[in-house]
Amino acid sequence: MQYNVTVIGSGPGGYVAAIRCAQLGFKTSIIEKYDTLGGTCLNVGCIPSKALLDSSEHFINAKEHFKEHGIDIPDPKVNLSQMIRRKGEVVKANVDGIAFLMKKNKIDVYKGVGSFVDKNTIKITSGDGKETTITSEKVIIATGSKPTALPFAPFDKKRIISSTETLELKEIPKHLIVVGGGVIGMELGSVYARLGAKVSVVEFLDSLIPTMDGTLGKELMKVTKKLGMEFYLGHKVTSVENKGKEVLLKAEPKSGGQPIELKGDYCLVSVGRRPYTEGLGLDKVGIETVKGQIPVDDHLRTKVENIYAIGDVVRGAMLAHKAEEEGVMVAEQLAGQKPHINYLLIPGVVYTWPEVASVGYTEEQLKGAGRAYKTGSFPYKALGRARASMDLDGLVKILADKTTDEILGIHIIGARAADMIAAGVTAMEFRASAEDIARTSHAHPTYMEAVKEACLAATGNRAIHI
Amino acid sequence: MSQQVKVPSVGESITEVTISNWLKKDGDVVKLDEVIAELESDKATFELPAPQAGVLKISKQKGETVPIGTVICEIQGDGKPAEVQPAAQESKPKPAAPAAGSALAKATGAVKEMKVPAVGESITEVTISTWLKKDGDLVKLDEVIAEVESDKATFELPAEATGILRIVAKEKTTLPIGGLICKIEVMEGAGEGSVASAASASTAASVGDANYAAGHPSPAAAKMLDEKGIPASQVSGTGPGGRITKEDAMKTQPAAPEPKTAAATTTAATTGAPAQGSKGERREKMTSLRKTIARRLVAVKNETAMLTTFNEVDMKPVMDLRSKYKESFKEKYGVGLGFMSFFTKAVCAALKEFPAVNASIDKDEVIYHDYCDISIAVSTPRGLVVPVIRNAETLTFAQIESEVVRLATRGRDGKLSIEEMTGGTFSITNGGVFGSMLSTPIINPPQSAILGMHNIVERPVVKNGEIVVRPIMYLALSYDHRIVDGRESVSFLVRVKEMLEDPGRLILGV
């Protein structure tokens, strides 16, 4: 078959790129190695983890907070297999949705491993070894990423596990050791902490979610400690061993001092993800990866003029929504349009409870750049809405330019932060000042009022409700 | 302290002014901003306000013609001792820390934002050619801080306040009219005698309102502008704080190059002819405006394959029609029935048949326009301007006539906006109003053709084997042979002729 555009990989970058291409009138195909479409995000990432996060949050509410709300129920128990089954249904509904969208947009779906023969020819090898060859004028590589293992402790998928296995556990761990206090470690760690596991997080750096603003990591540690999570920050893991029924982790403080040993039944290694390009046949088209990534220019074009790459295989944050934007951008470029992506304004979210969400510069970045800035904060506990729901943990922090008042960063930890950040991103796309938001009416009572109050605080230290 | 008052730069093509009247006498006490004199240039008359209060000492008399920058009077301080001056002169304020502990240069906290002034009606943008002062330098009011270039001329940019210069637009950047060039952190008491604190105070009061986000396009606007190939710096945003909205981006057209027909304007010699019989001659420096016109006209000649085809039109049918319906047309529509509507309609109809004449070249592509935006040359006291009748193909005769009147009036009043003068797809110029019998107009890039109308003269012509007297107008069509073939251009002009000689064709479209 002959196509205008072929997308390799059907994650949120790939399938969105394919749909946009089809919308723009290109004859489009998409190649997926796995049985279901949707990639990591839908199958073993964002969606299933949110399903479990919500279930476990319901559980902990029932267990800990219903009573205070005036709901008396007998001690709730976790039915893990039902939780996992429901998660599976959520995933299935979503991936079926993608299959429907492919059909609706008349996109040909090829199941199998796509591999370049030359820059316009791709061979697809399906699971049963059958080979199909297609040609395509343009190719978009969207093969995503895989969890990174520790060099000395490869995933055995039994005791030493990645996020994928952690979403499929048959039992609630008694003690889950998490290596890496980033987004994945904190989300999955908190799932099992809520369900009753002891969770210990070992992080090499000195803060949790270290790429985000320092305030957020500190706050997140405070609130997750309440769940019973333990933290070993600034610790370098030296070994992880599967001892059959348990796993033994050894680590030592970076700054010197006593090494520690942790024994648990599972060790989730969430130290990051690496771009995935195996089997793609990049050598056939002369593309070489750099640190695993496919080098691309500002237009996401590789060194081969008809081949583009998007999402986790290229530079930038490994986020579904970043990949989506890139997919749209490449598709529109192919149609002669000139879309933009403002990478500074790709928000980052952590689905712990309370949620963490952030966009723009962190305070550390502004300090490092010597930029004159001002801050305004507002705590959830001063918010009527948060009182009503008893979600009192968290705060909003606004960073704004000292002279122009332009918002430079928005950092939220608190209930529903993930949804709130969108308003902040919009404001920043229009280069709003803190006062602009402060003078924008916010419905009462809402969590968003915390953003308005923090903007008032940043504008002239004139928050009303504190 | 006293201040010398120089003839300010009043417009780019104005090199000298005549003092038409002194409103104050020598020795009078004048107040700040009080009008002290009337000056006259070849384009306009304007008033000269006093830059400070004091006693007027006139040095150039009424009737004298002086170049821009000449000192024409001095205003002597009103008796207050100039205590800061001697010290200020010997210590050059350091740009790095101008306000630090210096009693001489006191920051007022006010910031004067300097924006690109409107320098001419058809100029939409300027380029900062050279910064004469560095970022952080102390600049004085009216000191020239930069040289700015438009596509018509180069001019000097004087500081609008005294203080520390904060450059916003770097050298070689292009800004739209109104774009932010630099900021001056206004200081009091700095610099030499020319700075009155009153002046800084008054500038402090007029701090601009554009903010840091001025010119920032919304995400959708950014995409659209990029696709149109228009830098955001050329768009003036109407959103809050000067932000560029999607609507701004939709409305913006790529700037059309300056109409070449403007070259028809001649700058008359400003002084009388030399006495008869003498062999006197004068050498005058070419103004930058003239130089630019010269350069661009040559460029059109060099870069296009321009040639002209001619024809003649018997204007009798149009004139008959016109005299027959003149009254009722005027009564019904409130506007006179002129020739322009006939010509415009005929041109639009012919453009539809010969789309290449209405097209333009963009690098390797030809852009065909499905609409007829007709640029019409209008003579105004300020020179020739070329406003555009939009979608002329959809307009009725009455609409065209009223649009011509509207544009001509606005042109005469100098009120035409840049937008009204850009983006035409075809031009019509009428040299006939000046008595021209025949000429070869120069096309107005990126347009590909221009129709020249001429005067109507009664000539003997042969009709049906008999010599009759008819009102004849010669028509000229200059066209770019790169995309318009001879057949098309000649046929186009013949079509225009046919429709004018038989206006019924205009109605029937035959």
Give tens-digit pLDDT for B31-88. Answer: 888 888 888 776 666 788 888 888 888 888 888 888 888 888 888 875 443 333 433 3
pLDDT at A201: 97
A300 compared with B226, residue with greater pLDDT: A300
Nearest neighbour of B218 by CB, restricted to A337, A430, A433:
A430
Residue B446 vs residues A35, A295, B155, B358, B376: alpha-carbon distances, Å:
56, 40, 26, 10, 15
Q: How confident is the model at residue B166 (pLDDT cuts 50, 70, 90)?
A: confident
Tell me whether residues B223 and A338 touch, CB distance under 8 A.
yes
Q: How confident is the model at residue B152 (pLDDT cuts 50, 70, 90)?
A: low
pLDDT at B381: 66
Mean pLDDT of chain B: 79
Q: Report, as an integer, the average pLDDT of A216-240.
A: 95
A243 part of contact set with chain B, CB < 8 Å: no
**Using one digit for the tens of pLDDT, what is the confidence trace for A417-427?**
999 999 999 99
pLDDT at B59: 86
**Mutant choice from A334, A338, A435 vs B, greatest count of B C-beta within 10 A:** A338
A444 is catalytic: yes
- Residue B195 pLDDT exceeds 90: no
- Chain A residue nearest residue B211, CA to CA: A404
Q: Given the DSSP bridges, would you call strands B180-188 and B163-167 parallel, antiparallel or unpaired?
A: antiparallel
Q: How confident is the model at residue B501 (pLDDT cuts 50, 70, 90)?
A: very high
A299 part of contact set with chain B, CB < 8 Å: no
B213 part of contact set with chain A, CB < 8 Å: yes
Nearest neighbour of B212 by CB, restricted to A337, A339, A404:
A404
- Residue A289 pLDDT exceeds 50: yes
- pTM of this prediction? 0.56
Which region among A47-56, A342-351, B369-378 has the lowest average model confidence (pLDDT)? B369-378
B227 part of contact set with chain A, CB < 8 Å: yes
Q: Cβ atoms within 10 A of the Cβ of B256, count?
A: 23
Q: Is the peptide bond before B460 cis (omega within 30 degrees of 0)?
A: no
A156 part of contact set with chain B, CB < 8 Å: no
Q: Report, as an integer, the average pLDDT of B415-426.
A: 82
Does residue A394 contact residue A417 with C-beta atoms inside 8 Å? yes
Does residue B74 contact residue B57 with C-beta atoms inside 8 Å? yes
pLDDT at B214: 86
Range with the largest mean pLDDT of A451-455, B166-170, B184-188, B423-427 = A451-455
Among residues B160, B237, B162, the alpha carbon closest in space to that of B206 is found at B160
pLDDT at B261: 42
- Chain A residue nearest residue B210, CA to CA: A404
Among residues A157, A161, A136, A113, the alpha carbon closest in space to that of A277 is found at A113
Q: Identify the sign of the CA torsion A295, A298, A303, A308.
A: positive
Q: Cβ atoms within 10 A of the Cβ of A302, count?
A: 24
Which region among A6-20, A363-377, A384-398, B30-44 has the lowest average model confidence (pLDDT)? B30-44
Q: Report, as an integer, the average pLDDT of B106-131.
A: 76
Tell me whether residues A430 and B239 touch, CB distance under 8 A.
yes
Q: What CA–CA distance (Å, rounded) separates A399 from A437?
A: 13
- Chain B residue nearest residue A430, CA to CA: B218
**Using one digit for the tens of pLDDT, what is the confidence trace for A177-204?**
999 999 999 999 999 999 999 999 999 9
- Chain A residue nearest residue B218, CA to CA: A430
Nearest neighbour of B218 by CB, restricted to A337, A429, A436:
A429
Residue B208 vs residues A144, A455, B120: alpha-carbon distances, Å:
49, 24, 21
Nearest neighbour of B223 by CB, restricted to A337, A406, A433:
A337
pLDDT at B280: 72
A339 part of contact set with chain B, CB < 8 Å: yes
Q: Report, as an integer, the average pLDDT of B286-291.
A: 62
Q: How confident is the model at residue B96 (pLDDT cuts 50, 70, 90)?
A: very low
Q: What CA–CA distance (Å, rounded) separates A30 from A8?
A: 6
Residues of A in contact with B211 (CB under 8 A): 404, 433
Residue A106 vs residues A29, A70, A125, B313: alpha-carbon distances, Å:
9, 53, 22, 59
Mean pLDDT of chain A: 96
Residues of B in contact with A430 (CB under 8 A): 213, 216, 218, 239, 243
CA angle A285, A286, A288 (to 5 degrees): 125
Nearest neighbour of B227 by CB, restricted to A337, A429, A436:
A337
A372 part of contact set with chain B, CB < 8 Å: no
Rg of chain A in Å (alpha carbons): 23
What is the DSSP track for A396-425? EEEEEETTT-BEEEEEEEETTHHHHHHHHH
Tell me whether residues A431 and B222 touch, CB distance under 8 A.
no
CA angle A190, A192, A193 (to 5 degrees): 60
Residues of A in contact with B240 (CB under 8 A): 436
pLDDT at A175: 97
- Residue B311 pLDDT exceeds 80: yes
A326 compared with B404, residue with greater pLDDT: A326
Q: Is the peptide bond before B355 cis (omega within 30 degrees of 0)?
A: no
B166 part of contact set with chain A, CB < 8 Å: no
**Which residues does B284 contact at the CB level (< 8 Å), separation at least 6?**
none
Q: Given the DSSP bridges, would you call strands B374-376 and B456-463 parallel, antiparallel or unpaired?
A: unpaired
Q: How confident is the model at residue B385 (pLDDT cuts 50, 70, 90)?
A: confident
Distance from CA of B226 to the nearest CA of A (A): 6
Tell me whether residues B213 and A339 touch, CB distance under 8 A.
no
Catalytic residue among B226, B320, B362, B481: B481
Helix (H) or strand (E) holding B456: strand B456-463
Distance from CA of A69 to the nearest CA of B (A): 44
Which region among B156-160, B491-495, B502-506 has the lowest average model confidence (pLDDT)? B156-160
Nearest neighbour of A431 by CB, restricted to B216, B226, B227:
B216
Q: Report, as an integer, the average pLDDT of A301-316.
A: 97
Q: Report, as an integer, the average pLDDT of B172-196.
A: 69
Query: For chain A, which domains are there?
Result: 2-146+274-343 (3.50.50.60), 160-271 (3.50.50.60), 354-458 (3.30.390.30)
- Residue B277 pLDDT exceeds 70: no
ipTM over 0.95: no
A304 compared with B249, residue with greater pLDDT: A304
pLDDT at B202: 35
Tell me whether residues B213 and A338 touch, CB distance under 8 A.
no
B92 compared with B27, residue with greater pLDDT: B27
B216 is catalytic: no
Q: Cβ atoms within 10 A of the Cβ of A89, count?
A: 10
A267 compared with B146, residue with greater pLDDT: A267
Residues of A in contact with B226 (CB under 8 A): 338, 340
Does residue B132 contact residue B145 with C-beta atoms inside 8 Å? yes
Range with the largest mean pLDDT of A248-252, B170-174, B446-450, B462-466 = A248-252
Q: Identify the sign of the CA torsion B164, B168, B170, B173.
A: negative
Residues of B in contact with A336 (CB under 8 A): 227
pLDDT at B122: 66
pLDDT at B289: 52
Q: How confident is the model at residue B265 (pLDDT cuts 50, 70, 90)?
A: very low
**Using one digit for the tens of pLDDT, what is the confidence trace for B320-364?**
999 999 899 999 998 989 899 999 999 999 999 999 999 999 888
pLDDT at B210: 55
Q: How confident is the model at residue B461 (pLDDT cuts 50, 70, 90)?
A: very high
Q: Report, as an integer, the average pLDDT of B147-156.
A: 72
pLDDT at A146: 96
Q: Report, as an integer, the average pLDDT of B401-422.
A: 83
**Mutant choice from B180, B227, B238 vs A, greatest count of A C-beta within 10 A:** B227
**Using one digit for the tens of pLDDT, what is the confidence trace for A392-447?**
999 999 999 998 899 999 999 999 999 999 999 999 999 999 999 999 999 999 99
Between positions 403 and 462 of A, the ones with CB within 8 A of B are 404, 406, 429-433, 436
pLDDT at B452: 95
